[in-house]
Amino acid sequence: TAVPITRMAGYSTFREIEAPEASEVVRLEDRPSAAGHKSRILTVCATLVLVIMAAFTASSSRKGSFPMLPIQLSSVDYTNGFSLSSSNEYTRRTPINAVWEHIAEPFRVTTLEATYNGEVIPNHHHLDFTWEVDGEAQDLKANTIDVTFTSTGPKTVKLTIADSSSGTVGTYESEVVVKYVRREIRSLTDEDRKRTLDAIETIFRVDQETGEHLYGENYRSIQSFSEEHLNGAGRVECDSWHDDAGIVTHHLGFTLEFEEIMQMIDPVVSLPYWEYTVDTDLYGYNIWESPIFSEEWFSPFPSNTQNHIVDQGRFAYLEVPKVSDGFDVFNPYGLLRTPWVTDPTPYLTRGKFVNGATMAISGVECSDFVTAFNASDLATLNMEMNGFTHGPVHIQIGGEWNLEEEMLDFMDDYGDFRADLALIFKVLWRTGFARCPTTCTEGETCQCTAPLEVLEQAGLTAYEALMQADVLKYLDTDGTNLYQADSGRYHIRGKEGSPEEEQFFLKMLQALSNPGYVGE
């Protein structure tokens, strides 16, 4: 019985051969008969066998002839000149360009592969792979193994390859440096980002006593970190953490301390960084559209909540730590905020606007980092890192509010300084011209001011105080009302040298001496 063989319609292994039509069926009975060819095929095969046998017989009878060599699976001697590679789920996607040849990360699966000329050596049956990692022999005898290091530092990896077909043996030994790697938060896997944020949230929500019980005596809650930061940056005498040489060194150390506690909670994680120039480019003025401020990450900006309390997402209603006994830097309501932030709200606050005006992080772009990177001296680098790449982000993501509209209008008309108010205020506060209450009760007016008695005791006019504090240089003098004359003196246009001009400078001093509320 003829058996029909149906081919795949419209397909051919060889492109130059036209595929049969869909309806085409090739039947065995349509093929030429094979019976007539059998005798001819057998004759040809027999002849070939006889020729081959005769050739080998003749060869073996010759003087000095060589015996037949066994067939080799590979002509490459993998036991000479081989190496190894190390990778994980991140570095396979984005390799790390570092001074170390081999890098691994603690508590993360690292794949070690035997390589030759940059390619993974095949698992030939005649090749035997023996791995020794940090002094311990590995059970798996293969060209690739997975290992998990549980501590940082250099680890010795030894790989031996034996080739049973040639009898050769080779050994390669190298250091794999185990380090934590920080990555941009958006580049983390979903699982790693969740674990990272869980660790951060733990520090913010778990108090010292509970944390020590759960994670050990070296645990530190956000109370401890807030006190450390306020001690260095919140004192009236000096901001040693941000001004001049303090910005880089203190923040690097503070970051390391925070990361250590995160890893005490979860040893897999490291502290990610936020490349906010990306958000400048993508979202401009609408920074709140960034995934950074999603419910799952750092919580959205509050929409209509009273007092700007963050009320959605992971960090909703996060409590601001209260001052503990023996610590002396806090706001008038006993909260661990800088003394001049007179906000009584006991929860995390955040505002979309800076004193009513939208302010994008447009001032922090790649060009700012390039300028800092190209600085020719350390003083310029520190200034760039603080004032141009660091400070504006704090203002943008925290926001400012609680100032009267009339005072905001004055800021716009005379120096356009509502966006820089908090930064200028700190100078007046530390020079003593702005003063803040040390205690307040809820419901009363509680704000920083420029007391007239301070000027009287110093024997200074408001203009002289502003010049002594050297803050007028931060104001916009290209407007219609405030300008700087060729002599260097600042004037109010149309009021030059009059008593009214001094009243304008007094109002300017008062406006600069009340920063309102500044969000976290």
Q: Classify residue 383: in a domain, yes or no.
A: no
Q: Which residue has the tokens 């310029």?
A: 380
Q: Say whether both 105 and 173 belong to one domain.
A: yes
Q: Say whether both 412 and 511 belong to one domain.
A: yes
The number of beta carbons lying within 10 Å of the beta carbon of residue 129 is 19
Q: Say whether both 167 and 133 belong to one domain.
A: yes
pLDDT by residue for the chain (520 residues), tens only, comes to: 333 333 333 323 223 333 334 333 333 333 344 444 444 433 434 444 333 343 444 444 434 433 433 434 457 899 999 999 999 999 999 999 889 999 999 999 999 999 999 999 999 999 999 999 999 999 999 999 999 999 999 999 999 999 999 999 999 999 999 999 999 999 999 999 999 999 999 999 999 999 999 999 999 999 999 999 999 999 999 998 988 788 899 999 999 999 999 999 999 999 999 999 999 889 888 889 999 999 999 999 997 777 899 999 999 999 999 999 999 999 999 999 999 999 999 999 999 888 887 664 556 889 989 999 999 999 999 888 888 888 888 888 999 999 999 999 999 999 988 888 998 999 999 999 999 999 998 878 899 999 999 999 999 999 999 999 999 999 998 878 999 999 999 999 999 999 999 999 999 999 999 999 999 9
Helix (H, G, I), strand (E, B) or coil at 130: strand
Cα distance between residue 227 and residue 349, in whole Å:
18
Q: Classify residue 171: in a domain, yes or no.
A: yes
Two tokens, residue 45: 């095969």
Q: Say whether both 473 and 445 belong to one domain.
A: yes
In this prediction, residue 250 carries a pLDDT of 94
Q: Say whether both 94 and 128 belong to one domain.
A: yes
Domain boundary among 166, 181, 196: 181
Phi, psi dihedrals of residue 144, rounded to the nearest 5°:
-135, 135
Domain boundary among 273, 297, 323: 273
Q: Say whether both 93 and 122 belong to one domain.
A: yes
Q: Classify residue 300: in a domain, yes or no.
A: no
Angle at 186 between CA 183 and CA 192, to 5 degrees: 70
Q: Classify residue 330: in a domain, yes or no.
A: no
Domain boundary among 242, 273, 304: 273
Q: Say whether both 221 and 195 belong to one domain.
A: yes
Q: Say whether both 162 and 201 belong to one domain.
A: no
Count: domains in the chain = 3
In this prediction, residue 136 carries a pLDDT of 95
Instruction: Tell which residue, 324, 502, 498, 512, has the closest CA to residue 423.
Output: 512
Burial class (CB in 10 A: 0-12, 13-18, 19+), 350: buried
Q: How do beta strands 153-163 and 168-178 pair?
A: antiparallel
Q: Say whether both 126 and 101 belong to one domain.
A: yes
Instruction: Tell which residue, 418, 269, 270, has the closest CA to residue 357.
Output: 418
Q: Classify residue 75: in a domain, yes or no.
A: no
Query: Which domain range does residue 431 map to?
Result: 405-518
- What does the CA dihedral 222, 309, 347, 274 come to, rounded to 10 degrees? 10
Instruction: Tell which residue, 91, 148, 156, 84, has the closest CA to residue 114.
Output: 84
Q: Classify residue 506: in a domain, yes or no.
A: yes
Q: Say whether both 114 and 197 belong to one domain.
A: no
Q: Say whether both 220 and 256 belong to one domain.
A: yes
Q: Classify residue 504: in a domain, yes or no.
A: yes
In this prediction, residue 363 carries a pLDDT of 60
Report the CATH number at residue 114.
2.60.40.10
Q: Classify residue 91: in a domain, yes or no.
A: yes
Q: Say whether both 414 and 513 belong to one domain.
A: yes
